[in-house]
Amino acid sequence: MVKKEFTYQGKTLAELRKMPLDELALLLPARARRSIKRGLSDDKKHFLHKLQTKDNVETHLRSMIILPSMVGRTIKVHTGKEFVPVIIQEDMIGSYLGEFAQTRRRVLHNAPGIGATKSSSNMSVK
């Protein structure tokens, strides 16, 4: 079985990488398009420059849009407690880095703690 070539809005990854940022913005979702139209912040420009020179870059920029130049790289995104490695793939283009580094965990309750009343200790754990 032959693997289907990736396309985003009818453009291949090579075509997307050659596009200037303003042309690429026309293909992205509305929120990403608007933030690119307003111009990237200095922090985001510095991050893109750092990403071209190094791999495994750590960042706090959860609101950074994933661009075609980032595909294939590993970026460590901060969750508020730790840096989580995110491997950027083709289908992530147009999303934000923060979407792939979860900040909340599922709460799992256990048995009643010290100081609990007698009635709460008789409750089922399930």
Amino acid 84: pLDDT: 95
The domains of the chain are located at 7-106
Looking at residue 17, its pLDDT comes to 92
The residue type at 48: L
Q: Is the pLDDT of residue 97 over 90?
A: yes
Q: What is the pLDDT of residues 36-94, one digit of tens each?
A: 999 999 999 999 999 999 888 999 999 999 999 999 999 999 999 999 999 999 999 99
pLDDT confidence tier of residue 124, bands split at 50, 70 and 90: low
- The CATH code for residues 7-106 is 3.30.860.10
What is the Cα–Cα distance from 58 to 47, expressed in whole angstroms?
9
Q: Residue 121 is encoded by which pair of tokens?
A: 């200790």
